[in-house]
Amino acid sequence: MGVRPIPTRHVTADSPAPLKPRRPTVVLGTFKGGCLKTAFAVAVAERLAWAELQVLLLTSDAQHDARFRLGVSPSDPQTARVVRREGGVTVRGVHPSKAVELLYGSGPGELKEFQVVVVDTAPVEAAGALPGVLLVAPVDGADAARNLVSLLRGTPENTEVMLVKYHHLDKKSWAKAAKAIADASKVEGLLFLPDPVPPARPIRDAHDDGVSVWDLPRRGNTKLFLDAVETIAEHAWQRVCPDKAFPAMPRRRVADAYVQGWSDDEDA
């Protein structure tokens, strides 16, 4: 008795094309708390709104910290909007699985009215796993750097990673540390901001009082923080409008007297 194989028919395999979010997306993520993820997420979202974009700020933070920072009170609806010039930040608290559905679902869906998304994550290792985004990872001490290496090992190839140093460090040591992180995590083309961001008391106080950092006097360590935000925001802008120059931030209306060395030159 003979047997006769029949040729196998093949279904079309899932496309190997890497996943991309349906809107340009900036994710603030590290495996560690207290290294300015929320502070940067809010300030970057506001800066992009000042550039007249409609920004969705997603936060998986249980304390709704990002909402408070934008002057949204706990009694306000879950989704609230603040206006900056012609742009705006809509802040929305979501469960991480809902964030994935929002970012990677098909069609414009609920993202229709937005041009860019900023995601403020809780300190979880999965924060590095979103494909096709700009992942901004603030690093404070050596501990954060070690945690970051394990986070970055799970980062998809089409995710661009940008390191930001929080705290005092000279530029040369930071450049060396960034290279060590790149080598250990094997991330191709890792970006880093060359100027470390030292702690700034006015930024911390603004954060704790629900005041916009863009209303603060732009000097000293406050300016260094804002310079970092400006750099991150411009990089994000290029994903949204690659052919247009990044609109300048309006000047502050300066009313307060400031004399270097006499006024309150801050450090947190």
Ligand X SMILES: Nc1ncnc2c1ncn2[C@@H]1O[C@H](COP(=O)(O)OP(=O)(O)O)[C@@H](O)[C@H]1O
Residues that bind ligand X (CB under 6 A): 33-39, 65, 199-200, 203-204, 207-208, 225, 268
Least distance CB 268 / ligand X (angstroms)? 4
208 binds, among ligand X, Mg ion, none (CB under 5 to 8 A by kind): ligand X
The residue range among 30-38, 175-183, 218-226, 233-241 that interacts with Mg ion, by the rule CB under 5 A, is: 30-38
Q: Interface with Mg ion includes 37 (CB under 5 A)?
A: yes
Phi/psi at 253 (nearest 5 deg)?
-80, 110
Q: Distance (Å, rounded) from C-alpha 115 to C-alpha 240?
A: 7
Answer whether 91's CB lies under 8 Å from 66's CB. Answer: yes
- Please report whether residue 23 would count as binding Mg ion according to CB under 5 A: no
Q: Between the CA of residue 227 and those of 40, 71, 213, 230, 234, what are the distances in Å?
A: 11, 22, 12, 5, 11
Element (H, E) at 54: strand 54-59
Is the CB of 124 or the CB of 149 nearer to Mg ion? 124
Distances (CA, A) of 51 to 88, 133, 236: 9, 20, 11
Which residue, 96 or 199, is less far from ligand X as judged by CB?
Answer: 199
Q: Among residues 118, 136, 190, 130, which one has the least CA distance to residue 154? A: 130
CB of 65 to ligand X, least distance (A): 6
Nearer to ligand X, 44 or 111 (CB): 44
Q: Which of 25, 30, 38, 222 binds Mg ion (CB under 5 A)?
A: 38
List residues binding Mg ion (CB under 5 A).
37-38
